[in-house]
Copies of this chain bind each other. A is one copy, B any other.
């Protein structure tokens, strides 16, 4: 390998070995799994990037690295094609960046997969008159079929499930609630670009009663007698919605226990986590 360091390439790292060789490579950090991460932030001339990428891959191969990650902010989209032509592929993308990846060893690639699921909540809010909080939506698959349904919504990355349920009810109907428990959940496949959906059916207790619907997404909202909600032909026809009705009935009869959140510290993350458990049964244990 030649001595390639040059003041014309001001953006790379200089890597010197044994005092003899000096080659310029992309700035990178090591990850915890034997790979390297390149997190480019500033613009780079495409020809310089192409040259640095080639010399970097040679170095990383010598160093027996395995996975190579390159994060390119959307402003550096002009470098994506160069990396793909060098053998990289897409790992994931978010609105403002794309993450490219490459696997150096000839043995099996253990690059972990991208996020695979969307998480949703459906919020069962029953008041003391056995009325259920229901909405009609302006968009989506429920629009135009005349069905009254519980408030539903997406749990964002970083958001707690019980907090998402409280937030969605408040956003769609203006009703304040306290969270009681997760009654159960449903997993569905191939909903959205081949990903899977996990929907947590949550039970909440209303703390206010005057509905103020969100006008952008919600056509109508009301407190509906539970019997009337359950009798909708749509709910009788679709198995997963029939279970919602059965769970509500069991809950009103006080014979059903779901899972309640308890805060815990996490081994994997600095952020607060929650476990969801049948705390009623757990408290019976010695």
Contact = CB atoms under 8 A, between A and B. Distances in A.
Interface of A: 32-33, 74, 77-78, 80-81, 84-85, 89-99, 108, 110, 112-119, 139-141, 154-161, 183-198, 216, 238-241, 243, 246-247, 249-250, 253, 255-259, 262, 264-271, 273-278, 281-282, 284-286
A273 B185 contact: no
A266 to B, nearest CB: 5
B119 A118 contact: no
Contacts of A80: 77, 80-81
A107 to B, nearest CB: 8
Contact of A281 (B115, B198, B257): B257
A238 to B, nearest CB: 5
A190 B96 CA distance: 17
Contacts of A192: 112, 115
Contacts of A77: 80-81, 84-85
Choose among A196, A257, A259 the residue with the greatest number of B CB atoms under 10 Å from its CB.
A196
Contact of A187 (B114, B160, B243): B160
A79 to B, nearest CB: 9
Given A94-B90, A157-B196, A286-B253, A275 B115 contact: no
B112 A154 contact: yes
A189 B271 contact: yes
27 contacts: A74-B90, A92-B114, A92-B193, A113-B118, A113-B156, A114-B115, A115-B115, A116-B157, A117-B119, A119-B196, A159-B196, A161-B187, A183-B278, A184-B275, A184-B276, A185-B276, A187-B273, A188-B268, A188-B269, A238-B265, A239-B264, A239-B265, A240-B273, A243-B264, A247-B277, A256-B284, A257-B278
Contacts of A269: 188-191
Nearest to A243: B275
Contact of A184 (B74, B184, B241, B259): B259
